[in-house]
Structure 1
């Protein structure tokens, strides 16, 4: 199972900036590196990083890189922001089902997309569709993250983010906290907290795919 890890923003695009001037692009890169390392220490996943340093990549370039690595799944790491500095907590985003179904229909006759579906089915045993994979996995990631952090939302949220919309495989966006919240900004910049977030996502991924394999064997 090949998982592409996308560190949000980069280069001239710092992403959100906290009160203490910590930048989202640096936090996402650090968490992405930790998550990639954890996944590659398992015998179940091969994780590849889309952005490896401080440089800019368009959404299209990110998805192209993931495709180049023949990724079966993409996890995009971000840090949230709000004008209300009191808002905090992690949240997980997936593509809305109606948009998902439209996208799948458009690519039904595309041989490459058929091959992607085949790879997913081969690796994880008979998944029904992208939406099911994304939503069910997102729920398990939330279950794990709530053990180490506060939640902004108890269920997966829906959005038409470019990285979700243009990926040719199941994709999930993880908002690891609100950098606009001074306390959470400090947490997000600490290696200890980044390790907790990374480990929780890693555990969730393993739990989900092992559960699915057992279910369909």
Structure 2
């Protein structure tokens, strides 16, 4: 096992004037997100394998732009974004995992290569290569495609460990990865997974998500999945 710590960035979705989804009894998503994020940080910080960062550590509003700037400024090995789902169908429940869709990432890659607006961010190493080869569009496209393929494999592998722990501890909405066009997931310098921890619009799940016990249960499941994945990887 390497002596270098693995840096995990925990992103608690919403916050401040943005409550996120709201349950039938008034539970706000932002409060669940930060509670789980803080507990997950506590668990990871007590493990010598990890170093953790939070995009927010209180009930503050952070725009997507600022969250992405945070990603660019810090050397991170993995992004875990914590959210709570919602649905017009009150019976829908369970946790789910999301990664960036191929179409969204390919669009970001193509936009960057063509020097159009892009939300992408990547490591300083890749940035240095691009700076030295500004006019080599083929090289840029090739490097970014390879980087994306590598990150996607990591996300696939890690998701198996998260599903394994979630099956033991909480209900799953789907036992498969979902793909989305979400800006927080477009950073190609690190693997990124968004976790919807349940449906706040489901009466029973809203009640569970409001308790410290269940929030800690989710955080513990995420922690164990990260621990097991990185132990296996190294």
Normalising by the residue count of structure 2, what TM-score does the alignment of the two structures yield?
0.80
Distance 2:92 2:121 in 1: 44
Please say if residues 87 and 199 of structure 2, whose CA atoms lie closer than 8 Å, have aligned partners that are also in contact: yes
Please say if residues 72 and 121 of structure 2, whose CA atoms lie closer than 8 Å, have aligned partners that are also in contact: no
Change beyond 3 A, Cα 1:165–1:191: same
Q: Secondary structure at the residue paired with 2:216?
A: helix
1:19 to 16, 19, 24: 24
Instruction: Measure how far apart 1:167 and its partner are.
Output: 5.9
Residues 46-98 of structure 1, C-alpha deviations (whole Å, 9 max, x = no match)? 01111111111111211222332321211000000000010000000011235
Distance 2:89 2:17 in 1: 25
For the pair shown, the structure with the greater C-alpha radius of gyration is: 2
Distance 2:196 2:178 in 1: 11
Report matched runs for 1:83-162 at 5 Å. Answer: 83-100=88-105, 103=108, 113=123, 115=125, 129-162=150-183
Residue segments in structure 2 that go unaligned for 5+ positions in a row:
1-5, 114-119, 128-147
Report matched runs for 1:1-20 at 5 Å. Answer: 1-20=6-25
Distance 1:188 1:140 in 2: 22
Distance 1:138 1:173 in 2: 10
Q: What is the number of equivalent residue pairs in this alignment?
A: 205
Residues 110-152 of structure 1, C-alpha deviations (whole Å, 9 max, x = no match)? 99536379xxxxxxxxx97111111221221111111111110
Q: Which residue of 2 aligns with 1:122?
A: none
Q: Which residue of 1 aligns with 2:69?
A: 64
Residue segments in structure 1 that go unaligned for 5+ positions in a row:
118-126
Please state if 1:51 is matched with 2:56: yes
Please say if residues 200 and 209 of structure 2, whose CA atoms lie closer than 8 Å, have aligned partners that are also in contact: yes
Distance 2:7 2:232 in 1: 17
Change beyond 3 A, Cα 1:141–1:175: same
Cα RMSD (Å): 2.5
